[in-house]
Amino acid sequence: MNTNTENVVQYPNPKNMRKLVLGLLIAALIAILGFRSFTIVEAGHRGVVIQLGAVQPNVLEEGLHFKIPFIQKVIPVEVRVQKAESSQVSASRDLQTVTTTLAVNYHLDGTTVNNMYQKVGLEYRARIVDPAISESLKAVTAQYTAEDLISKRSEVSAKVKEVLADKLGVYNMVLDEINITEFKFSEEFDRAIEQKQIAEQQALKSKLDLERIKIEKEQEITRAQAQAEALRLQKQEVTAELIQLREIEAQLKAIEKWDGKLPNVTGGAAPFINVGQ
């Protein structure tokens, strides 16, 4: 008796397969939606919310936030202090060419970055900051001569800061500080300044020499006047008794020096000393 064994192959139920694929798709969609429903705003930034192309009035702070998937997106905008350094060529009031190196520190106002993004975008340095620096610097340097720019640097810096702060404030930017690191002029102007300084030094030296000569002359005049006054006073005090006293003093000095010998001379008389007097 022969027994025939047949192998039966069972295929999965198409309905079950569709359910499985559909479940996987739903799970993947939920995962994607869950992942895209949250955003993180990094430290030193603010989030500008864009909903279907329109900038929203709310600004996201640092941290984790919910957003509507596929409808909203968040643009991170940095609000840290930023530095813009540039070299600007301008003209002074006396029409000297001045090259100024200026360093500017500024930051965006975190509460109004949405307005700035809506009006300017993320290219705010090239569109706003750099042109504002150049315009402010040229406006201020035109009010001073080249020499004043050197001698009144702190005043110039304060005025540039004031003008620049107003220009950046229109776009909700805050100016922190500016530093003028260098004023550079033409070679001809530098030589003229050097020659002027040399002339001023020479003039100062001549003035000091003149004052010294004047003082020395006044001192000589004072000494001469003092001597003349002394002689005048001495002359007023000369009397007959003083003359007689001086003669006696002279004769006494001669007696003290005499050795008792008469001088050996030919002709003439021996010197007579009036001792009696």
pLDDT higher than threshold 50 for residue 277:
no
Give the Cα-Cα-Cα angle 127, 156, 128 (nearest 5 degrees).
5
Identify whether 180 is part of a domain: yes
Q: Tell me the C-alpha distance between 158 and 166, whole Å.
A: 13
Report the C-alpha gap between 231 and 110 in whole angstroms: 93
| 199 found inside a domain | no
Cβ neighbours of 182 (radius 10 Å): 9
| Residue pLDDT, tens place only, 131-175 | 999 999 999 999 998 888 888 888 999 999 999 999 999 999 999
Phi, psi of 27 (to 5 degrees): -65, -45
**Average pLDDT score, the chain:** 79
pTM: 0.58
Do both 108 and 72 map to the same domain?
Answer: no
Containing structural domain, residue 54: 16-78
Q: Where are the beta strands (DSSP E) in the chain?
A: 38-41, 45-51, 54-60, 63-66, 72-78, 82-91, 97-108, 173-184
Contact 106, 80 (CB under 8 A): no
Which of 185, 203, 238 is the endpoint of a domain?
185
Residue 115's pLDDT is: 93
Statement to judge: residues 116 and 53 lie in one domain: no
CA 223 – CA 230 distance, rounded (Å): 10
Hey, what amino acid is at 76? P
Give yes or no for residue 193 having a pLDDT over 80. Answer: no
Q: What is the pLDDT of residues 206-257, one digit of tens each?
A: 777 778 788 888 888 888 777 777 766 666 665 666 677 777 777 777 777 7
Cβ atoms 59, 110 nearer than 8 A: yes
- The CATH number covering residue 121 comes to 3.30.479.30
Counting the structural domains of the chain, the total is 2
Q: Could you tell me if residue 29 is inside a domain?
A: yes
The residues, any chain, with a CB within 8 Å of residue 85's CB and separated by 6 or more, are 101, 102, 103, 104
